[in-house]
Amino acid sequence: MDACELSVIIPARNEAAHLSSSIQRIVAAVERATPSYEIILVDDGSSDSTWAEILRIASACPRLRGFRLARRYGKEAALSAGLEVCRGRAALTMDADLQHPVELIEQFYRVWKERRVQVVHGVKQDLGRDPIHRRLLSRGFNYVASRLSGVDLRSSADFKLLDRQVVDAWLTLPERRTFYRGMVAWLGFQAVEIPFTVEPRIQGRSQFGLGSLIRFGWYALTSYSYFPLRLIHILAAVFLAFSFILGSWALFLKFSGAAVSGFTTVIILQLMIGGALLLSLALIAEYLAAIYEEVKRRPRYVIAEIARPDQ
Ligand code: UDP
Ligand code: MG
């Protein structure tokens, strides 16, 4: 298939149960926007029959291309794969579970087409019926990451439409550890925001547990901010001031004949200094690990199989 107007990129992991009906709804919505489109489904190493479903849907829908990653590389890598293979003059990224309302596809497309903007951001209005701890975590994470990184990530989502120019610019960003929303925000370009309400998941459950959300947050933070490293400077300054005051006081007491009493002070000081040192080391280690991952320069994903490789 040659270039088209719109590529719709959908990462999917273990979505077999509803994939066929979800894709049907997505295709119907895309067709209301433009007849010139392609659907790109990226199977992120599913352990259910998602790939078989993709093959089945692809055989009936010539505008669909499927890519199976060799294992679970994560949603970020799946999005990256989709952006790399898409051929549209614009690319729209959305979830397979219909949490991103399909009715907005046409609006995204029109805004891009008619207002000549390069990015259309879907902005979460509220987090729908997600459980309270997820909403709090997601709010908290977005708030902290936005403040620290200087990139506004609050209420941001992976539901976006990018002009070809932005897709090409995005693809030049070389990091291994990608963070789609942050990177799009970092690129800039003329953007419009369209609010949407997060729909409940159509079926199944979220692939992101609490652990992966925290890891994801930490990745985003370390990729976008040096604040944790600067924390070490602050820690050093506080300890220096503290040691100056406490040291002068101890010397004063010693020369005035009443030395600081004891063991407790020494232990407390030891523990505080030890703790601060280990914390600093841990922060440095995190950045070291991130650098290590980057310098290996491994690909972000490996494609194992393609449905419709002929196209
Ligand atoms: N997903 C993926 N790889 C993963 C986790 C999720 O490709 O490791 C896909 C998933 O199939 C869905 C989208 O990313 O299309 C969003 O995932 P999910 O609904 O689990 O996340 P949430 O909506 O809770 O953010
Ligand atoms: Mg979801």
Show me where the domains of the chain are located.
4-225+299-307, 227-296
Tokens 């310098």, located at residue: 295
pLDDT at 130: 65
Match 């579970």 to its residue by tokens.
97
Percent of the chain having pLDDT more than 90?
Answer: 55
If you measure from the C-alpha of residue 204 to the centroid of ligand 2, how many angstroms do you get, rounded to a whole number? 9
pTM of the model: 0.83
State the closest ligand 1 atom to the C-alpha of 14, by its place in the atom list counted from 1: 11
Right CATH for 4-225+299-307 from 3.30.70.100, 3.90.550.10, 1.10.15.40, 3.90.180.10: 3.90.550.10
Query: What is the per-residue pLDDT across 121-140, written as a single tens digit (0 to 9) for each?
Result: 998 886 556 677 777 777 77
Query: Which strand ranges, in their side-by-side order, compose the sheet holding 191-196?
Result: 191-196, 119-124, 156-163, 88-93, 4-12, 37-43, 64-69, 303-307
Q: How far is the CA of 80 from the centre of ligand 1 (A)?
A: 14
Q: Give strand ranges (E) for 197-271.
A: none
Q: How many CB atoms lie within 10 A of CB 121?
A: 22
What are 206-222's pLDDT values in tens digits?
Answer: 766 677 767 777 777 77
- Ligand 1 site residues, Cβ closer than 6 angstroms: 11-13, 15, 44, 72, 74-75, 78, 95-97, 99, 201, 206-208
| pLDDT tens digits, 43-100 | 999 999 999 999 999 998 889 999 999 999 999 999 999 999 999 999 999 999 999 9
